Amino acid sequence: MDKIIIRGGKKLKGEVIISGSKNSALPILFATLLTDEPSVIKNVPSLADINTTVEFLNFIGKKTVKKGNTVRTYPSEKYRHIAPYDLVRKMRASILIMGPLLARLNRVDVSLPGGCTIGARPIDIHLDAFKKLGAGIFVEGGYVKTLAENGLKGAVIDLKFPSVGATENILLSAVLAKGKTTIINAAKEPEIEDLANVLNKMGAKINGASTGKIVIDGVDGLRGFTHEVIPDRIEAATYMIAAAITKGDIVLKSVIPKHIEAVSNKLKKSGFFVKENKTSIRVKWVKSLKPHNIKTEVYPGFPTDVQAQWMALMCLLKGHSKIEETIFENRFMHVAELQRFGANITVDCKVANITGVEKFSGAPVMVSDLRAGAALVLAGLAAEVKTIVSRIYHLDRGYEMLEKKLKKLGADIKRVHSS
């Protein structure tokens, strides 16, 4: 099993190019199931989750080829309607297979999804939406079986929570439903807008993708498309914090600053130098810093996917701060590992209370989920002595060329293979 070894204390400096968004690329890849024409998706990151999705699409029957950062799909004669456990267990986003297959085949059988262990993350919101669109749902043999014998019909769907995945699944199914579908309390994330833009390129009729109320007028069929995936705002935020935690100076290239304003604003309030241009952001450490509280929220609030990284930074700023996690119930599993570096953190239900320490001391640590892993790498970059990060397969799900990018910025970091 691979490990990452870091010898910290290096001030990271230079430029880093941000990769395409994993969380945008995945639903767009699944959207190719909605057309029988060829499609081209550019700026797709090379990640474990992307490879799993390509494998998944090929199994379903969509001929899919990834070369570099471009994925091409080709016409298919027939799709399978079953998403087996061996594929679904690898990645939670596999649940997005339901929407397009239900739209094309009027049926889909899917095992419950896998992914990071950061909470229950039930799919009831997805299933309730499919029911409103006219599908019947039952569980048998470990599979959720969904059937719409008479096809899907438009409906008003009021989400009890603005779930990104549920919003995407509704978009992927309702575009071919008969009549109009309205999603109330829809997710507003940039990835939702990117998916809607792709579907509209395909001939769908979607309005309001960034407003919280999305209206979809169903169409009879969709065409192929060419699209470039938006930059990964979570990867960008991670490198911004890398500059801050290592007392460095990093310029992020190929970003959309608006997508990460919540993180930029918090860094500014803590005293860091942050300068945004049209497609770049510079983050630089300065003296006289102070910790700042955060509360994770749905977009455009502070993202839960940056909570762990922010915690690592706050642990090294003199004073007290707190972090309130409102999205996932088990997303403080990185606390115990940060404490191994010498962090002073106490947790009270959904709130982490932090007292800054002068320095971190490197330690052997273990990754529990993707973003927790990023926090541990950041801590290692700032720590004295050596840090060994185990179970890094989680990191490979969401960060393209992590060690190479950090090494280019001046980090002493390497991946080692061990049996």
Active site residues: 116
| Whole-Å CA distances, 89 to 56, 116, 301, 303 | 11, 10, 30, 25
How far apart are the C-alpha atoms of 186 and 157, rounded to whole Å?
9
Using alpha carbons, select from 227, 173, 170, 172 the residue that is nearest to residue 197: 227
Hey, is 143 helix, strand or coil?
strand
End-to-end alpha-carbon separation of the chain, Å? 6
Using alpha carbons, select from 35, 168, 43, 203 the residue that is nearest to residue 95: 168
Q: What order do you get walking across the sheet with 156-158 strand by strand?
A: 156-158, 180-184, 213-217, 205-207
Hey, is 81 helix, strand or coil?
coil
- Beta strands per DSSP E along 84-135: 107-111
Other beta carbons within 10 angstroms of residue 263's beta carbon come to: 25
**Do the bridges between strand 294-295 and strand 320-324 make them parallel or antiparallel, or are there none, so unpaired?**
parallel
Q: SS3 helix, strand, coil % of the chain, rounded to 5?
A: 35, 25, 40
Tokens (6 digits) for 55 = 């494998």
How far apart are the C-alpha atoms of 352 and 310, rounded to whole Å?
12
State the chain's maximal CA–CA distance in angstroms.
65
DSSP letter string, 152-199: -B--EEE-SS--HHHHHHHHHHHTTSBSEEEEES----HHHHHHHHHH
